[in-house]
Structure formats: C-alpha cells, structure tokens
Chains A and B, each alone.
Chain A
Amino acid sequence: MSTLALIDAVADYGHQRVLGPLNLTLKRGERVALVGKSGAGKSSLLSVMHQHWRGRGAALMPQELGLVASLSVFHNVYMGALAMHPTWYNLVTLAKPFRRDVAAIRPLLERLSIDDKCWARAGELSGGQRQRVAAARAIHQGGEVLLADEPVSALDGPQSETLMVELTRAYPTAVLAMHDVELALRYTDRVIGIAEGGIALDAPSVQLTAQDLLPLY
C-alpha cells in the first residue's frame, strides 16, 4: 500500500445526502486530523473510509466505542485479533484465554493504566476507562490505518496525551476526528476541515494555528 484514496465518495442518511461527493487521498505515514463542528459529516466520512478500506487493514474506533459490555476488558481487546487466529482458538479463548495472549495484552493495558481492570467487564467501567479499552483493541488489532472518532474525548489532559502517543506510535497512518484543535495540531501532520458534508480546508498542520480553524466551528 502506498496511498489510500476515496473517489467521489458519498454518504446518505435516509434520502438525505450528508456527505460528498468528495475526493481524498491519504499517503502512507500521513496522520490526518478531521475537524469541523458536530454534524458536519466527520463520523460519516470515517465510516465511509472504513467501508472502503476495511479489507485493506483499516481499524475503526467509533465514537460509541463498540465494546461488548458483558465481556471482560481482556476479551474486548483480544477481539482486535480475532482475524489472526483460527476459530477454535478464538472459542477456547472465550472460555479460557491462552497465556501468550494475556502476556501480549497485559503490557498494553499497563501503558494505558487500566491493567488493574483486565478481568473486569467492560460494562462496569467508567467512560474514560471504556475509551481506553476501545483504543487498546484498535492498537492490538494493528494494521495499515487507524480511523478513530474522538479517541480521547472522555479523557483528561495527561491521559489523553498518553493515549495519543500510544495510538500514533501503533499507527503511523491515521485519520483522527478531533474537537480538541490544539491537540489535533500537535499529533497530526495534515488537517482536513469538514463543513456541510464537503472538504472546506486541507492543509499541513505546521502551517496552521488554532486560530485558523475557528471559522470551521
């Protein structure tokens, strides 16, 4: 893979067009921040990207996280790797996890400071903890590109910094929808501004300040 591209992509909600048609090319190693006010079409764009690139190794971290509340944190993270193991292995893991998977997932949870919750059910966690579990799943999944919708919205300052470091280290190529403009500029190298279902701004992060993005909101 050298580039990922969307050509004339659209998204409809019922009969109403909420996105596009728009064209977009993503180079390998490029980290893009999607900014824009809520309802502008960021989540729709991410889900269109997921549809197109799922088969090429895209990992999705949706805003609603998509955790299975009745499964443990470990199992939720392990689900990122379901495709890497045969079915019997996955089913055995559901009943009794293998030591080597625990050994692989534990350190990840430690780095995100939720290793004490490893065997707690995802449904019992706080919002911030749940968000880190979903991030851990995406990191454990690995792949070509990360598509994340507000990955640090429920976390406070230092925690969100840690998570951004972990996410960007695991995925050199990523598209991150973020409302924290300052954080977005620091961790990405390209900013795409979305307004009314189209691309309103596309520029390298280094050329922008938080002030420049205000018109989008």
Chain B
Amino acid sequence: MWHSATVRLSLGFVALAIFCLGIADLSITAHEPWHELLRLLQGLVQPDISAVDDLGVALLRTLAFAFVGVGLGAAAGFLLALAFRSRLVRSACAFVRAIHELFWALIFLQFFGLHPLTGVLAIALPYAGVFAKVFAEILEETDPLPEHVLPAGSGRLSALAFTRLRDAWPHLVSYTSYRLECGLRSSAVLGFVGMPTIGFYLESAFAQGHYNTVGALLLLFYVLIATLRLWVRPLLVPVYLVVAPFCLGSGLPIVWSNVSRFFTEDIVPAPLRHGEGVSGLASWFGDLMAHEALPGIWHTLVLTQIALVLTGILALVLYPLVSRHFFQRRFDQNRTHRSGNAKPGNRLAHLLGHGLLVVMRSTPEYLLAFILLQLWGPSMLPAVVALAIHNGGIIAHLVGRRSNEVNLRPDAPQGLERYAYELTPRLYGPFLALLFYRWEIIMRETAILGILGITTLGFYVDSAIQEIRFDRAMVLILITALLNIGVDVFARHLRAKLRLRHTANCEP
C-alpha cells in the first residue's frame, strides 16, 4: 500500500501538518477554559428564550437575508451559467467567489453602511459566482442529443426549457436548496459584522455572559436548519422570495457621497493620493507585504494545512456513524439477508450519529471559532478545532452517504476489519476528492477567522479597516483572493493527477 500515490500524498500532507503544528501557537490562554465550556453547556441545557426580547426578529432577519441573498445569487448565477463558455465570465466568477462573504460585507459596509443592501450583496455576489460554476457543470452533464435533434429555428429559450433545463431541473433544485442551508449559515454569521441577524445577538449575549441566551439562540438556529425540509416546500418558496425583501429591516440610509468617496479616495493607495509617485508606491507596497501580507499568508497557510489534515482524520473516523454497513437502520434489516448487527440499540446509535453530524456541519466555522475563542482565549487552537469540526462533519456525511452505495458480500468481515479492509480502501478516493475540494473553502475560512483575532490574513484586513486604511485592506483582500484561487487550481491539478473523480452535485 505504500506504493500507492494517494497514500504517499496523504502521508506527505500529514507530515506537513505535523511540521506546522510545531510552529503554530496552539496554547489555551483562558484562566478557566473548562469552567466556561461547562457554563455554555448549561446554557444549552437550560436555554432561556425569554431573555432575548427580539428573538423573533433575529430569526426573521436571518431568514430574510438568506432568502434574498441566495435568491438573487441563484438568479444571477443561472444567467451567468448560460454564458459560462466565455473566459471573461469564468474568471469573474472565480474572482468573486474567492472572496469570502464576510470580506464582501466589510467592503460594502464602507460605502453602503448598515443598509440591508450590504448584507444582501455580501451573500448574493459570492453565491452568484458559485452558482454559475455549479449550474454550468450540471447543465453540461445533461444529454446534448435532444437539443441536437430540435428543428432549426427553435428559439434558444424554448430549446433550453424543453431539453437541457428540463433534464437538469431536479439537480438544480437540490443544489439550490443545499445552498439555501449554506445561505442561512452565512446570514447568521453576517451578524458578527453588524447585520441584524442571529450572529449579532449571539455576540452581544456572549459579551454580557448570558449563556442561557446563547443556548437559546444556538438551539433555535439548529432547529431552523434541521427543519428546513419541512418548511421549504416548492409551492412556498415563491411566497418566501416575495415576502423576504420586506423583512430585511430598514437599517441605516445609504449616504451616497460615501459611495463615491470610497472609490475615488479611500481605496486609492495612500502614496498616490498624496502625490508621492511610483517610488512612494513601491515602498508602501513593500512595507505592506513585509509587515502584513507575508506574515498573514504564512499563518493562513500553516493554519489551513493543520485544519485540513485534522478535518480529514475526523471525517475518516466519523463516517461509519452514518454508514449502513456499521449502524443499520431497522427497515434495512429485512431487505439484506444478513444484517450483522441486529441489536435494538442500533436505531438509537444511528439517530445519534446522524444528529451529531448534523450539528457539526450546520454550525458555521466562524460561529464555532468565536465560541471556542471565548472559552479558550486567543490562539490558533480554536480556529483549527472549529474548521475541523465543521468541515469534518460535512465530509463524514458525504463519505458515509457514498459508503451506502457500496454493496458488500454477505460474509464480509465485521467491525474494525470491515472498516479497514472493505470500506475505507474503497472510499478513500472519493474522500480525498472531497477533501481537496474543501481545501480552498478551508483556506477561505481560515483567512476570515483572522477577524476574530487570529493572525491570518483576515486579521490584517480587519485591522486596516479599523484604522480606516481601506487602500491596504483592499490589497490584502485581493491577495487573499489570489491565494484562494491558487489553492483551488493546485487542488484541481492534484485531483486530475490522481484521477479523483467528483460530481458537481454533492459539493458546496
């Protein structure tokens, strides 16, 4: 097995992560970290719903921003997907989705202020880039023959509606509903930069040490996501989309002079603004690179590699929880001739496993990192753990689902041997494909976690904005975007080299 390229590559990644562990700051600095964690758990067990006056408003705003943002993003993304053959469109989409929605929010905040438009665009813009790419891939996968045999002169729209669109429709819908779930997470997190969503209330509840309120908010958020399938019905979606724009709240009015000042003054590099010419610009840029960009990039890379490997380990350990080969559902047992495990406790284990993964993947990394940071104090540790929990939960879920497509022979070994000999070797390829796919996402999140005080790129972006040096912030955001695009290209190259296949559909 040591001769396999995938195994050697994996070991290389693990070695790199161990090296990174050596240089990363992973200390716990809080005085009583476990005491704080205990208080939070108590808050979750005894949530206090009455504590937040406007719990309903928080939920409503979270939903409204998610619906409007994802709706606009999907519509724009669909139109862009139709023009995805154009190189310009492809590059523009890659660029907007390489910038995290929180960075977009920070940018829009500078000129739209706390107007709802800031939150809506912060979601809609990067989502449009993602939708365009995935929709284009889904449309590409449909059978081209029905369109080919259409009579000459069939209008483009008619042809699309009757053939490719019709074929792709179920996939487009399922992907869009998946993204709605992501949109709810994004919307919640936008509260941390001032939008009136759940994150806003969470932050203030934490600041005041109201853990029962925190518990109530978190539980409500989980309920919202867990019941998504119940209240997002095909017939209701248009109603939600029409109502949502009216539920965004009024925020603060846009000051249009800020908008023009942002573009004509704020983001123009300081030396140019002060007429210091090219030499001034060079030393300004050199200073920015040496003191902010390079340390930021270094920390972002170190943290990303540790989080990536931890995510992989967690996913490999947890996927059996949702695999029918380990925890079988009752109704499956009649179908298969040999059920292996038929203990009555199995159904409970199955439910608990699913529940754990749902909680893991529906907690946004940012939220998780924020909570852990409150408990353990500032270091890279909260970020690594948060990234691994969220992404590990997602990959474990997808790998587990994939494992259910595997059919084992009736006398296949049980337990650990089944895990090590039968399933993991078969699932390792898809697992790596998913992990490499999430590499870019993990890096994007790593950069953004800097806003919480961990010295990744986001930290320097946030400090520059605090100091009202938007020119520096813009350059740093640009660098972050290029880094993300670079990792994405590299991961795609690795996937192609190892011939890891992936389908557009199971990926965020």
Contacts and interface: CB of A to CB of B under 8 A. Distances in A.
Interface stretch (A53-61, A150-158, A168-176): A53-61
Contact of A90 (B146, B149, B153, B155): B155
A82 B149 contact: no
A65 B163 CA distance: 13
Interface residues of B, number: 21
A73 to B, nearest CB: 14
B162 A90 contact: yes
Interface string A127-165: 000000000010001010000000000000000000000
B405 to A, nearest CB: 21
A146 to B, nearest CB: 12
14 contacts: A57-B151, A57-B152, A60-B149, A64-B145, A67-B146, A68-B163, A70-B166, A79-B150, A81-B151, A82-B162, A83-B152, A90-B155, A91-B158, A91-B161
A79 B165 CA distance: 14
Given A91-B157, A91-B158, A61 B149 contact: yes
B157 to A, nearest CB: 5
Contacts of A94: 161-162, 166
A164 B170 CA distance: 36
Given A75-B162, A91-B157, A91-B158, A68 B146 contact: yes
B145 to A, nearest CB: 4
A83 B149 contact: no
Contacts of B167: 68-70
B158 to A, nearest CB: 4
Which of the listed residues B158, B166, B167 has the most CB atoms from chain A within 10 Å of its own CB?
A: B158
Nearest to B169: A70
Interface in A45-92: 54-55, 57, 59-62, 64-71, 75, 79-83, 85-87, 90-91
Nearest to A61: B149
B336 interface: no
B167 to A, nearest CB: 6
Interface string B119-161: 0000000000000000000000001011011111111011101
Given A57-B151, A57-B152, A60-B148, 4 more contacts: A79-B163, A82-B154, A137-B149, A141-B151
Interface of A: 54-55, 57, 59-62, 64-71, 75, 79-83, 85-87, 90-91, 94, 137, 141, 143
A130 to B, nearest CB: 12
Given A66-B145, A91-B157, A71 B152 contact: no
A72 to B, nearest CB: 11
A87 B155 CA distance: 6
A105 B153 CA distance: 21
Contacts, number: 72
A106 B167 CA distance: 24
A19 B161 CA distance: 34
Nearest to A63: B145
Contact of A59 (B143, B146, B151, B162): B151
Interface of B: 143, 145-146, 148-155, 157-159, 161-163, 166-167, 169-170
A66 B164 CA distance: 11
A90 B161 CA distance: 9
A65 B148 CA distance: 11
A82 B146 contact: no
Given A90-B161, A91-B158, A94-B161, A83 B151 contact: yes
A124 to B, nearest CB: 15
A19 to B, nearest CB: 18
Contacts of A62: 145, 148-149
Shortest beta-carbon contacts, A-B, top 3: A83-B153, A82-B154, A66-B145
B154 A83 contact: yes
Nearest to B145: A66
B157 A82 contact: no
Contact of B150 (A55, A61, A67, A82): A82
Contact of B162 (A60, A61, A71): A71
A64 B153 CA distance: 22
Nearest to B158: A90
A70 B162 CA distance: 10
Most buried by B among A67, A75, A83, A85: A83
A66 B149 contact: yes
